[in-house]
Amino acid sequence: MIFECAYKTKGRTDIWIGTIKQLKNHGGYYEMVIESRSRIHVLFGKTMIGGFACMPDYGAGCHLGKLNDVSWNKGELIHALGKIDGITVATALNLLADKIDF
């Protein structure tokens, strides 16, 4: 699955393409691999208080809202990963919102 990401700053928009290369449902959580400016391995699922995302290769994790809550998820993921990778993961999760049972 291919998707487009964008980051707007000071009258300039930076646009890049991301691809979900792998997606697997493990029952209690999902696992995906995104290739974009970086290769990002993401584990995500639900807890008693909401969603979570873990990016083990980055030593990072955060809480998530609904998969299509791009604004909330972007803020959390940017804090965990930095701007470009955070936007990339939030955009990929939004793409999956209508495609998986989360």
- Flag whether 48 is in a domain: yes
Per the CB < 8 A criterion, the answer to whether 95 and 1 are in contact is yes
Domain span at residue 71? 2-8+19-96
- φ, ψ of residue 73 in degrees (nearest 5): -60, -40
Q: Read off the pLDDT band of 13 (50, 70, 90).
A: very high
- Flag whether 50 is in a domain: yes
- The answer to which of 7-11, 17-21, 54-58, 73-77 has the lowest mean pLDDT is 7-11
Degrees, nearest 5: CA angle 5-11-62 = 40
- Flag whether 90 is in a domain: yes
User: In the beta sheet, which residues pair with residue 54?
Assistant: 43, 61
pLDDT at 9: 87
pLDDT greater than 90 at residue 1: yes
Mean pLDDT to the nearest integer, 18-24: 98
Q: How many domains does the chain have?
A: 1
- Flag whether 53 is in a domain: yes
pLDDT greater than 90 at residue 102: no
- Flag whether 72 is in a domain: yes
Q: Read off the pLDDT band of 34 (50, 70, 90).
A: very high
- Flag whether 24 is in a domain: yes
